[in-house]
A and B are shown apart, each in its own frame.
Chain A
Amino acid sequence: MDGHRRRLRRRRSGGWGPRDEAPARSGAADSADNKFRLRRRRSGGWGSRDEAPARSGAADSADNKFRLRRGAAGPAATKPRLSVRPRWATWLGWGLAAGLPLVFLGLFFAWPVTAIVAQGVLPDDGAGGRTLDLSGFAEVLGDPRTWRIVGQTLGQATAGTLLAVVLGLPGAYVLYRCRFRGRTLVRGLVTVPFVLPSVVVGVAFRTLFAPGGPLGWAGLEESFAGIVLALVFFNYAVVVRTVGGLWERLDPRAEQAARALGATPWRAFRTVTLPALGPAIASAAAVVFLFCSTAFGVVLVLGGIRYGTIETEIWVRTTQFLDLRAAAVLSVLQLVVVVAALLLGARARTRRERALHLTSERAAAHRLRLRSRPDGSDLAPAVVTAFVVLGLLALPMAGLVARSFRAPDGSWGLDNYVALGTTGGRNALSVTVWEATGNSLRTAALAALIAVVVGALVALVVSRRPRSTGARRAVGTLDALFMLPLGVSAVTVGFGFLITLDRPLGLDLDLRTAGVLVPIAQAVVAIPLVVRTVLPVLRAIDPRLREVAATLGSAPGRVLRTVDAPMGARSLGLAVGFAFAVSLGEFGATSFLARPDTATLPVVIYRLIGRPGAENYGMALAASVVLAVLTATVMMVAERLRGDRPGGEF
């Protein structure tokens, strides 16, 4: 009571009114104290007569005050401006925010892809018309080679996904639920493979498996197991980050309650933690399956002629056999696989976002316990994780770096790096590798810009939860639409660009030579990642924060600027990094679109390994290291921007 009174008195000296209010104030304060006493006393029945004067004093003083404040108040205190909401302006704003990405997607994704599919099923009949011809389907689907490829695609993707999940769970535990020195570094290291260009990964594993390489004895060259290992290398980070992000914030008390009820650590994990992680695991598995089943560069480099995916097959049919019909049919086939995986993933994601409400805000990590203790030790997961990080992730990279310093004549030195200033043995290239590096950086910067603008707009629109069912469905559709580029063959997109954009919409404008096609194609590939990085952060903003901002007088535009923007900004940094890194490494579409003099690094690397000569192979290794270092640097910077806060799915 005394403290209360003291505070009130202190307020009196510098409160929010002129000093002459003090007497009135004092009445109010005293009455408040009386009131409090009244509360206490009231247990014996409601207020007796003698309390009335005090209370009435309070009312009077408040009234005086009210009048004073009304009179002295500035513009902020005037009556609310009761003007009617300009609905059309709101609709126009959201229409533009949704429309711009839709136009972009339609022009640079839907149209080229449709054109390619049409090329397959509506062949030119020679007389200027086109007739529907589905014989291509019968032909391709009747070919045993097709089913071998489909089988390989599903087999590799399934094995890769299972292994990534099994190895990723202990990794998520160790890296997100335990504390140890160097954890941030290991987390960064684990992330690097995900953004490494697929061509680089292919080259790294090939170096590892080749006869005379560190794992040459295992006979993994051009093998199923070799491809699966490379796929796990790529996608380990997806599992660790997706599951770890949820695990980090999972309330540990549920598991503690299970332990208190007599469950062993393993049983508590199996019956409490694992089900809670279920949606995150399912979501991660769907994404990994998607990436594995559409893997291109890594399979092209590692699989040789014996192993492939639908994606590499599309590439082979298009570029080697010029069989557009078969390529179109395969594209449709791949779309079916991809849409199925996306649907499963979307369902898992909704459940995950629901599950997030069960988590605590604070990270609940404990020190890594390696010694055997009665309450369980972290030895087993730590050993598994160390084995994966060192053996599966670090070894191929180290092998690649080491081999890149091996000169063509077998001595150690910088010869391969010096050769990057040339166009390769027997002029394998039209540009030097350094020039290609410059091309890569330029196109990737432009691509990242496009992807972030479009992707952020999509994320913004999709993060809303409109009241009407129709609008909610439209938002959901938009979300799904922008995931499609993840799964549709980048090869198809690239080739579609070539067909459709020579004279877009009848304009006399050949975009193919304008040099913007490569960044646009790369942006199309990067947009889904941007959306998936920014969207969860925007969705996690409590809608009541926006409501509070509105009641404090912020128009919708200002709410966006002062609530959504600052809270989403950090994820935007990560999104820029992702988009840039993915664009740097993009190979499928770029390989179609880049002209020899504007070749990017991945294109140059693939061309170099395709040419004979130890010199070219050495250059390819050195160029791979350069590309890997560039990508890793970009990701490390982006990761630093992100900080330790949760956000994003990958």
Chain B
Amino acid sequence: MDPTVGTAVDGHRGDGAPGAVRPDGASGLQVRDAVVRYGAGRRRPGFVAVDRVSLDVAPGEIVALLGPSGCGKSSLLRAVAGLEPLAAGRVLFDGEDVAGVPVHRRGFGLLFQDGQLFPHRDVAGNVGYGLEAARVPRPEREARVAALLEDVGLAGYGGRAVATLSGGERQRVALARALAPRPGLLLLDEPLSALDRRLRERLAVDVREALRASGTTAVFVTHDHDEAFTVADRVAVMDAGRILQVDAPDVLLRSPASPRVAEFLGRAPEHPPGGSRDGASRASLAVES
């Protein structure tokens, strides 16, 4: 393997955070043969959204779940968060099975596509929400909220009403809110999809930076190749409820494991040099001006 981006990250995965890695290697997130089913009844099998998926995420690593819409990536994310029950399989965090642990005790943060900020709280009230739940004393909480807002580029926005924010600002606040309680794992469900292209590109870099700076382990769901490759250390390509391949971005592009992966990545706008990507940028510029 070339000493490229992916290798560097792989190296980090193995020996990057010695304090957090256990001798048995059972740290971070481990998903084992997870199955998520919808609409299953006593007699109906229901619809299988996630089909025996296994995935490992090392501490501090960012893994993107990349796939077309409806492929089950959001369902998998929700199952990890504890918002959907697993029909089969296990989710382990730092070696412990989290089955039966309610959402609020898992310590997993979650970031939705449209932020889902609390409309009845101001920006600081939103960011501090998880700290209140953890009974962090007020002075400490205020300091941390201010620091987080500065980190996401919104210093001084604490008193603003949520309704006055732009789409990008909302997502920044949502990110700060999710990071505030120092989640052991952050789950991001298409956090940038609702934004326009240029903002998305800029925020993708910012999100990665914020995650790296705080050393947060993260799973990032997206249908956008650019976004996945920008944010993640490794990318899991998912289709029809199954994970087809998990690899560093360059490995994925260079040696896709199956024709389906190649086909899916082949549509990547940035893959053919020059071509469609520039066209897309021009188009979006034209619309904006």
Contacts and interface: CB of A to CB of B under 8 A. Distances in A.
A323 interface: no
B170 interface: no
A5 to B, nearest CB: 11
Given A63-B60, A77-B182, A553 B130 contact: yes
B2 interface: yes
A35 interface: yes
B230 A545 contact: no
A133 to B, nearest CB: 44
A47 interface: yes
A566 interface: yes
B206 A59 contact: no
Contacts of B214: 16, 65, 69
B102 A552 contact: no
Contacts of B2: 49
Contacts of B41: 469
Contact of B215 (A47, A62, A467, A562): A62
Nearest to A66: B215
Given A16-B148, A39-B230, A55-B8, A80 B107 contact: yes
A43 B134 contact: no
A62 B41 CA distance: 46
B53 interface: no
Contacts of A39: 201, 205, 226, 229-230
B167 interface: no
A15 B176 CA distance: 13
Contacts of A558: 104, 133
A65 B19 CA distance: 12
B240 interface: no
Contact of B177 (A7, A10, A11, A552): A552
B104 A29 contact: no
A85 B101 contact: yes
Interface residues of A toward B: which range?
A: 35 or more
A103 interface: no
A544 B118 CA distance: 10
B116 A545 contact: yes
A551 B108 contact: yes
Contacts of A55: 5, 8-9
Interface in A524-556: 542, 544-545, 547-556
B270 interface: yes
A47 B134 contact: no
Contact of B103 (A61, A75, A550): A550
B129 A562 contact: yes
Given A46-B253, A80-B93, A545-B116, A52 B101 contact: no
Interface string B92-123: 01101010111111111110100010111000
B5 A548 contact: no
A56 B112 contact: no
A193 to B, nearest CB: 32
A608 to B, nearest CB: 47
B235 to A, nearest CB: 13
Contacts of A42: 229, 270
Interface string A71-83: 1011111011111
Contacts of B208: 32, 35
B8 A56 contact: yes
Contact of B150 (A11, A73, A542, A562): A11
Nearest to A552: B130
B32 interface: no
Interface in A66-124: 66-67, 69-71, 73-77, 79-85
A75 B181 CA distance: 10
A534 to B, nearest CB: 16
A467 B82 CA distance: 13
B168 interface: no
Interface in A545-581: 545, 547-556, 558-559, 562-563, 566-567
A83 B212 CA distance: 29
Contacts of B202: 4
Interface in B252-271: 253-254, 270
Contacts of A76: 131, 134, 136, 181-182
Nearest to B136: A76
A550 B102 contact: yes
Nearest to B120: A566
A467 B83 contact: no
B144 interface: yes
A52 B205 contact: no
B112 A544 contact: yes
B9 A84 contact: no
A567 B162 CA distance: 14
A129 interface: no
A544 B116 contact: yes
A51 interface: yes
B159 interface: no
Interface string B266-289: 000010011001000000000000
A8 interface: yes
Contact of B129 (A7, A44, A49, A552): A552
B274 A43 contact: yes
Interface stretch (B10-18, B63-71, B191-199): B10-18
Contact of B181 (A51, A552, A556): A552
A58 interface: yes
B250 interface: yes
Contact of B110 (A11, A45, A61, A548): A548
Interface in B8-50: 8-9, 11-12, 16-20, 41
A82 B153 contact: no
A377 B82 CA distance: 54
Contacts of A49: 2-4
Contact of B8 (A59, A75, A566): A59
A36 interface: yes
Contact of A15 (B82, B112, B147, B253): B147
Interface of B: 2-5, 7-9, 11-12, 16-20, 41, 59-60, 81-83, 85, 93-94, 96, 98, 100-110, 112, 116, 118-120, 129-134, 136, 140, 144, 147-148, 150-151, 153, 155, 177-178, 180-184, 187, 201-202, 205-206, 208-209, 212-215, 226, 229-230, 249-250, 253-254, 270, 273-274, 277
16 contacts: A4-B205, A15-B151, A16-B151, A45-B273, A46-B254, A49-B4, A51-B4, A55-B8, A56-B8, A74-B136, A76-B131, A76-B181, A469-B41, A551-B110, A552-B104, A553-B133
Given A67-B18, A84-B101, A559-B104, 16 more contacts: A32-B205, A47-B250, A60-B12, A62-B12, A63-B16, A65-B212, A65-B215, A66-B17, A66-B60, A67-B215, A71-B19, A82-B98, A551-B106, A551-B187, A552-B104, A553-B134
